[in-house]
Structure 1
Amino acid sequence: MDQPTPLLRSLSLLEISFYGIGTIVGAGIYVLLGKVVSESGMMAPWAFLLAAVVVCFSAASYAELSRRFPHSAGEPVYIVESLRSRHLGALVGYALVLGAIISAATITRGFTGYMGVFSHLPDWSMMTTLIIILTAIALWGVKQSVTIAILTTVLELAGLLLIIVISGDDIKQRGIDWSSLIPEFSTTEFTAITSGAFLAFFAFIGFEDMVHMAEEVKNPQTNLPLGIAIAVTVTTLLYATIAIVALQTVPLESLASSPAPMVLLVERNSDLPLQLMGAIGVVAMVNGILLQIIMVSRVLYGMAKRQLAPALLSSVCTATRTPIPATLLAGSLVLAFAIWLPVTTLARATSCLILLVFTFVNLSLLSLHYRERQRGPLQLGLPATGTLLCIGFLVIQIWSWS
């Protein structure tokens, strides 16, 4: 009997780190800065930092579980192996897929805002063309797709650094009003920060996608945990800095209402052509969507290999070594959701789903440590804290909606 064609193990630590950074940045700051500011006002940097704290505990759980179980399905495998429930593993896997699809759809909607600098075509037309092209790239091969992602990630980071540099003169002249950034810890500000953090949490979604490349990463037991740590650290520092720069150089109302906040920052703080930042924003969107399509296809592929999804989705093309049916399904669903729902609704729905997934991942590690009698403060404390933070974060946000 012929052995099924495996995925190609070709990604280094540098490549998987850039994969993670690209997914996180493409899914976040270029789309949601204005939305977070509209929720949190001058407390937006704290919203990003609070979201980062929640993410870090879960990232630690992901790092350890990816070392123990380097499989492309990721979370479903962690749950099956630790909580011993195939049904729960499948349920969480499909929730993860849905969350990632909504995430990519959110970025696709943001893409049209930045493309407005260049084109006045209908949104649905731009989105359809984009998803067809990106799905084709994802089908081409993982090495080629990730190489493109690395190049676009470098451009994304250059765009963010450019904003910091061009805003420097204005900040030097006026200085940073630190008093406006210090919270008074009132109920109103607490609600504003947590509400903004819930949206900002979406800006960190992407690091968990890295574990789904486990079967395509060299030495995954070492490179995946390191890559996760690098990606989360870099993006946290960038987000906090950009939020402070934006709030100190652009009127709050303008920033909160802008569909393309990075273009607005360039317009306010420099004489550079708006098309420059618009182009970088477009690249950021494209990168984030591409990486999410790849991630969804790998989850479906990994689940199918373990009989948690239809067997057809485990088919791999012998020429490209990519899962063709899973990739086509991922691209189709992203397009459908992008056309259907608005950005804020998409971001909130994604955050809810991913928080639930993170909760089960933390519980999986907690259960594993307890069963293996690794019951020290760190072994139990980190995943337990991650679990409580995710649950609390979700409850607070649901309460704020009521």
Structure 2
Amino acid sequence: MAQGETSGASAADAGGSGELNREMGFWGLVFYGSGTILGAGIFVVVGEVVGEAGALSPLAYLLAGLVAVTTALSFAEVGARIPTAAGAIDYVEKGFESRRLGSLAGWILTVANIVSGATITTGFVAYLGSFVSVPDWLATAGLVALLGIIAIAGMKQSAMFMTLTTLVGMATLVFILYVTRGSLLAAPSQITETMTGFDATAMTGLFAGAFLAIYSFIGFGDMAQTAEELRAVKRNLPRAIIVSIGIVFFFYLAISAALVGDGNFEEIAAAQAPLVAVVERQGWPGLPVAIASLFVIVNGGLTQIIAAARLILDLGRDRRGLPAFFGHVNSRTDTPVRATLVTLAIVLVLALFVPLKGLASATSLAILIIFAGVNAALFALKRRSQPDDVPDMWTGVPVLGTLFCLGAIGGQVWLWLSG
């Protein structure tokens, strides 16, 4: 998105403003990012990762983290260089000096965010079903409606809601680590024993789990898309991304270790609500964990919908394959209501009819393609110039990020071909 004549013209054609309002601060963004990453990764996909990688699940998250951390650092710099709601659209366009590539990145990322929103919605329904009997279609429709109301109300309101739910989620994870402390301490020996007999089957499971785990880290890209709604963006955006990725990386490694330390992989993989199951196995009531998990899952779904709506807003106001109708920001709520409504409709359809594992795998592949493009774009930008008012990451960061992403894409292709 260009913040100049193009977006202004598109907004005018749409009959309203195309500008967003800066209502979020540093800590709001930290909780915004941490909440969506944790909601997607630990509370939804962790059972799928354990099902693939077994005792090596912590290593799967570690491998995924290599992709995530390098790419997060690239986002920290490029997001400060190009602080727009378009995110990867503008990063790729400016890095490669190609509007067509920028638009392609925007469409891929829009699909990925919408599919991710559907994935998290499906996870919510599974957790809800673990302690109350509600028809899946009703729970899905009710959640999508709730997310729509919050997303449309305004970014300030969304950030406040997400701060609360993230604090609830972090407290819940600390509690889970406490009740599973025995399993957590046993995890290193469990991993060592599995690595002793490491074979082709174990390697396939490790890579399959790592690929699913990559989905768990995608939230920092969504953080970058709040740039037009963040105060002191060049200072706050990079710092918030780095703090958030540190928080979630710790929880991913610790929780995955706690889940596999006692060797009950099949039970965790089969559970609708893995964290509820592990708490109940330790003799504690699972209901409080289930309720807390629902709050965090809602948080993650909300972030994906907000991010997708901002991308659709940009695709509309910059005429990138969508009509200017979608490039409108409501003057009362300062949110892209039209873009949000179409996002919600697609999320609802996907959540009702597509399985969780298929959604997460599709999202991971799309995200990896975008991550590779963003890393390569930052490398190209750094070769041209280095502004004084943004972080100056080591040039090896985007290079390694690109290589890790391409390696992960190649690994997934290999898994598909060998499967």
For the structure 1 residues 103 and 365, does the alpha-carbon distance in structure 2 shift closer, same or farther, using more than 3 Å as the test?
same
Q: Offset at 1:250?
A: 6.0
Q: Which amino acid aligns with 2:266?
A: E
Q: 2:101 aligns with which of 81, 88, 96?
A: 88
Q: Which amino acid aligns with 1:112?
A: V
Q: 2:370 aligns with which of 357, 363, 369?
A: 357
Alignment of 1:118-267 (within 5 A): 118-168=131-181, 170-171=182-183, 175-182=185-192, 183-184=195-196, 186-249=199-262, 251-267=264-280
Q: Offset at 1:10?
A: 1.4
TM-score where L is the length of structure 2: 0.90
| Counterpart for residue 26 of structure 1 | 39
Conserved? CA contact 2:187–2:262, under 8 Å: no
Q: Offset at 1:245?
A: 1.0
Q: Deviations over 1:92-122 (max 9, x none)?
A: 1010010011111011111111111343222
Conserved? CA contact 1:105–1:335, under 8 Å: yes
Q: Which amino acid aligns with 2:347?
A: V
| Counterpart for residue 295 of structure 2 | 283
Conserved? CA contact 2:183–2:259, under 8 Å: no
- Structure 1 gap ranges (5+): none
Q: Which amino acid aligns with 1:295?
A: A
Q: Which amino acid aligns with 2:222?
A: D
Q: 2:317 aligns with which of 302, 305, 309?
A: 305
| Counterpart for residue 381 of structure 1 | 396
| Counterpart for residue 411 of structure 2 | 396
Q: Offset at 1:190?
A: 2.8
| Counterpart for residue 361 of structure 2 | 348
Alignment RMSD:
1.9
Q: Which amino acid aligns with 2:191?
A: L
Q: Deviations over 1:68-109 (max 9, x none)?
A: 000001110111112111111111101001001111101111
Q: Which amino acid aligns with 1:320?
A: T
For the structure 1 residues 313 and 245, does the alpha-carbon distance in structure 2 shift closer, same or farther, using more than 3 Å as the test?
same
Q: 1:293 aligns with which of 301, 305, 321?
A: 305
For the structure 1 residues 177 and 359, does the alpha-carbon distance in structure 2 shift closer, same or farther, using more than 3 Å as the test?
closer
2:96 and 2:55 mapped to 1: Cα distance? 42
Q: Offset at 1:299?
A: 1.6
Q: Which amino acid aligns with 1:338?
A: A
Q: Which amino acid aligns with 1:386?
A: G
Q: Which amino acid aligns with 2:273?
A: A
Q: Which amino acid aligns with 1:281?
A: S
Identity %: 36
Q: Which amino acid aligns with 1:194?
A: F
Secondary structure (helix, strand or coil) at the match of 1:363 reads helix
2:109 and 2:74 mapped to 1: Cα distance? 16
| Counterpart for residue 41 of structure 1 | 54
1:380 and 1:67 mapped to 2: Cα distance? 16
| Counterpart for residue 124 of structure 2 | 111
For the structure 1 residues 13 and 81, does the alpha-carbon distance in structure 2 shift closer, same or farther, using more than 3 Å as the test?
same
TM-score where L is the length of structure 1: 0.94
Structure 1 segments (4+ residues) deviating >4 Å: none
| Counterpart for residue 12 of structure 1 | 25
1:357 and 1:145 mapped to 2: Cα distance? 26
Q: How many aligned positions are there?
A: 396
Q: Deviations over 1:123-142 (max 9, x none)?
A: 11110111012101111111
Q: Offset at 1:26?
A: 1.0
2:143 and 2:97 mapped to 1: Cα distance? 40
For the structure 1 residues 328 and 254, does the alpha-carbon distance in structure 2 shift closer, same or farther, using more than 3 Å as the test?
same
Q: Offset at 1:153?
A: 0.8
2:25 and 2:279 mapped to 1: Cα distance? 35
For the structure 1 residues 114 and 386, does the alpha-carbon distance in structure 2 shift closer, same or farther, using more than 3 Å as the test?
same
